[in-house]
Amino acid sequence: MSMDQIFNREYLLKFSRTKMPYGKYEGRLLIDLPEPYVVWLRNKGFPPGELGVMLSILYEIKANGLEYLFDKLR
């Protein structure tokens, strides 16, 4: 996935509306996952595929306190 795709408006909308498909937080929007859980996933290893890419982006968002950027997209 290229940086152009990550910063694409449609991708950001998709990212903001994607829900966790499994686990303790199944059904919760990715952006609403607790930071300790995202850190735990990072340490465990993100899953392969698009979900793993989204979770790695989410980790960076959470680590840098940028969640507020998604307030209007929810």
pLDDT in tens, 50-71: 999 999 999 999 999 988 888 8
Residue 7: count of CB within 10 angstroms of its CB: 9
Q: Given a cut of 80, is residue 73 above it in pLDDT?
A: no
Q: Which two tokens mark 17?
A: 């509306």
How much is the pLDDT for 11?
Answer: 85
Segment 13-28 mean pLDDT: 94
Q: State pTM to two decimals.
A: 0.86
Report the candidate in 1, 12, 7 with the shortest Cα–Cα distance to residue 48: 1
Name the average pLDDT for the chain.
89
Q: Given a cut of 90, is residue 49 above it in pLDDT?
A: yes
